């Protein structure tokens, strides 16, 4: 259980407090926009401004979280977020907020959250041991939804009692909870490498390459698009459902958002039972179907009770999908690329939410709210069928700890860290009858080479010597190849052993070729 660990409990509690403030801000900003400009497209732009930064900035943020100190990075981001939150509260307090400024500050706060999100998710394995990781991920989901249940409803009440500016001030003050928790936390350093940190652009490129050749991560991203794009409809249009379909005020909007959070909390307690019976793929499909039913109900709602029930179902469905997608991402990533992999997930998550919010807002503005909801429901059901072949990982069934089994290269040249590119060759001698099985195993190994940093890979067969094969791959520099030595996991080692078992000798012959630097031209060369 994750709460046995003090560091996790303190950080979890602080983030719940801060998230209550964030959800109060989200509810207040959505409702404030309906007062400033009631056009459906404009109202949906609040959701767009909130989620677009995640799409734009999560990738560089993920790379940063992999190459710099995560704790210090988070402290800096939370301080900046507090400054933005205070500025937005002052504008509302003095009556200076307008639709453009509201969208701008929503975007700025979303940008801060985008830079923090990969680091927040990446520190979870530092807060709990590996056996409690799934519990910690689920507990974080519960925490988010506790704040989602409390924050919007509290925001609606606070607006009615204390005025529109109050939720904005509470949001600013709540950030001090996470700043304090991060200052208190002293993580144990797990950095075992003596190599220098990666450069930002190189880290981003390698992160994309890893995602491309990590089939488990790719499957999760595909399933994420198929869900979040259509689920975004009720998040973007809920203020208008509360205002125009049910004819309620900010208190009702807060209650409906709170119902989503309450449903998610209920769903979190049902998750172990449901996952045991349905598995991760079945549970995500069930959650997507529940979301489609929610959209149909919200498209036809006129009564408060039906709206509340629809939002409860939305919350149960949301946590069922989100928790399983999040666990699938976490267990698909080795530590060295965890921030970047999680950033890929966050980018897809909020990219789909951004595009979906804009589309459903435009559809509601052009036609009607019910048509937008019904179209999104139909798309969600279709998405289940179209993405079913992409399977999720439900637990840590593969050992992604570094194997450190590659021997240190023996060199006679002085290799500079940035010297490159580097060509690595591995020579195999294979029995003729094993050729096809060997090449099939080698294809799996090629994905591993690329995941760990190789930008080119190929295999050649000797036309003059039957059974002689040469595997070749290239990396950008000698330093990058040394990083490869530290990135290979125990699961990768199993794949490598499956290839090497075809080799007749004890070990294949490995060579390292450095790009030669030409001498300066002499006078006779000119």
Mean pLDDT rounded to a whole number for the chain: 85
Instruction: Count CB-CB contacts under 10 A for residue 514.
Output: 17
What span, in angstroms and rounded, lies between the C-alpha atoms of 456 and 460? 13
What is the side-by-side strand order in the sheet with 468-475? 456-461, 468-475, 422-429, 509-514
What span, in angstroms and rounded, lies between the C-alpha atoms of 497 and 492? 9
**For residue range 288-340, what is the model confidence (pLDDT) as tens digits?**
999 999 999 999 888 888 999 999 999 899 988 988 898 888 888 888 888 88
pLDDT for res 192: 55
Token output for 226: 């198929």
pLDDT for res 326: 85
pLDDT for res 385: 93
pLDDT for res 397: 67
Burial 335-348 (b: 16+ CB within 10 A, else e): bbbbbbbbbbbbbb
Q: Which residues of the chain, if any, have pLDDT below 50? A: none
pLDDT for res 226: 93
pLDDT for res 189: 61
Q: How many helices (H) and strands (E) does the chain have?
A: 16, 4
Inter-residue contact 301 to 185 (CB < 8 Å): no
Instruction: Give the end-to-end CA distance of the chain in Å, rounded to a whole number.
Output: 73
Contacts of residue 168, Cβ cutoff 8 Å, sequence gap at least 6: 25, 28, 85, 88, 89, 92, 93
CATH no. for 422-514: 3.30.70.100
**For residue range 68-112, what is the model confidence (pLDDT) as tens digits?**
888 888 999 999 999 999 999 999 899 888 888 999 998 999 888
Give the bridge partners for 509, in sequence order: 427
What fold does the segment set 2-186+198-386 form as a domain? Growth Hormone; Chain: A; (1.20.1250)
What sign for the dihedral angle of Cα 311, 24, 114, 96? positive
pLDDT for res 199: 81
Question: Where exactly are the structural domains of the chain?
Answer: 2-186+198-386, 422-514
Inter-residue contact 257 to 146 (CB < 8 Å): no
Token output for 204: 């981003």
Inter-residue contact 171 to 89 (CB < 8 Å): yes
pLDDT for res 427: 92
Q: Which of 44, 12, 62 is nearest to 348 (CA)?
A: 62
What sign for the dihedral angle of Cα 68, 129, 349, 399? positive
What sign for the dihedral angle of Cα 317, 321, 322, 327? positive
What span, in angstroms and rounded, lies between the C-alpha atoms of 376 and 46? 19
* Cα-based angle 429, 435, 438 (whole degrees, multiple of 5): 80
pLDDT for res 458: 95
């Amino acid at each position: 259980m994750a709460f046995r660990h003090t560091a996790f409990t303190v950080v979890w509690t602080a983030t719940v407090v801060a998230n209550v403030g964030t959800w109060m801000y989200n509810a207040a900003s959505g409702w404030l926009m309906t007062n400033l400009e009631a056009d459906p497209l404009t109202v949906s732009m609040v959701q767009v401004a909130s989620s677009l930064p995640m799409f734009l900035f999560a990738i560089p943020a993920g790379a940063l979280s992999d190459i710099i100190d995560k704790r210090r990075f988070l402290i800096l981001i939370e301080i900046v977020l507090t400054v933005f939150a205070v500025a937005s509260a002052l504008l509302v307090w003095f009556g200076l907020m307008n639709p453009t400024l509201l969208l701008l500050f929503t975007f700025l706060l979303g940008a801060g959250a985008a830079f923090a999100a990969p680091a927040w998710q990446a520190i979870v394995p530092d807060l709990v041991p590996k056996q409690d990781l799934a519990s910690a991920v689920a507990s974080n989901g519960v925490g988010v939804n506790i704040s989602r249940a409390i924050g919007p409803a509290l925001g609606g009440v606070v607006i009615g009692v204390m005025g529109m500016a109050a939720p904005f001030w509470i949001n600013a003050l709540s950030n001090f909870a996470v700043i304090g928790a991060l200052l208190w936390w002293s993580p144990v350093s797990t950095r075992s490498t003596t190599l220098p940190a990666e450069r930002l652009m190189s880290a981003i490129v390698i992160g994309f390459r890893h995602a491309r050749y990590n089939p488990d991560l790719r499957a999760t991203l595909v399933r994420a698009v198929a869900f979040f794009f259509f689920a975004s409809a009720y998040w973007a249009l809920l203020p208008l459902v509360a205002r125009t379909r049910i004819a309620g005020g900010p208190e009702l909007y807060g209650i409906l958002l709170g119902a989503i959070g309450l449903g998610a909390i209920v769903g979190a307690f049902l998750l172990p039972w449901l996952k045991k019976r349905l598995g991760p793929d079945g549970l995500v499909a069930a959650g997507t179907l529940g979301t489609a039913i929610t959209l149909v109900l919200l498209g036809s709602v006129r009564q408060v009770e039906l709206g509340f029930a629809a939002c409860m179902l939305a919350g149960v469905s949301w946590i069922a999908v989100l928790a399983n997608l999040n666990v699938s991402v976490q267990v698909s990533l080795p530590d060295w690329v965890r921030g970047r992999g999680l950033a890929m997930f966050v980018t897809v998550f909020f990219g789909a939410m951004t595009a979906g919010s804009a589309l459903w807002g435009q559809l509601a503005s052009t036609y009607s709210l019910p048509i937008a909801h019904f179209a999104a429901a139909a798309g969600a059901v279709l998405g289940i069928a179209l993405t079913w072949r992409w399977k999720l990982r439900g637990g840590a069934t593969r050992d992604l700890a570094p194997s450190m089994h590659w021997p240190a290269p023996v060199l006679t040249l002085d290799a500079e860290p940035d010297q490159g590119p580097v060509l690595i060759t591995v020579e195999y001698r294979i029995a003729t009858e094993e050729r096809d099985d060997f090449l099939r195993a080698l294809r799996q190994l090629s994905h591993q080479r690329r995941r760990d940093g190789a930008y080119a890979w190929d295999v050649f067969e000797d036309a003059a010597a039957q059974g002689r094969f040469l595997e070749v791959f290239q990396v950008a520099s000698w330093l990058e190849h040394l990083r490869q030595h530290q990135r290979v996991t125990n699961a990768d080692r199993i794949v490598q052993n499956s290839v090497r078992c075809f080799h007749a000798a004890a070990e294949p012959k490995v060579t390292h070729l450095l790009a030669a630097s030409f001498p300066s031209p002499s006078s006779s060369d000119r």
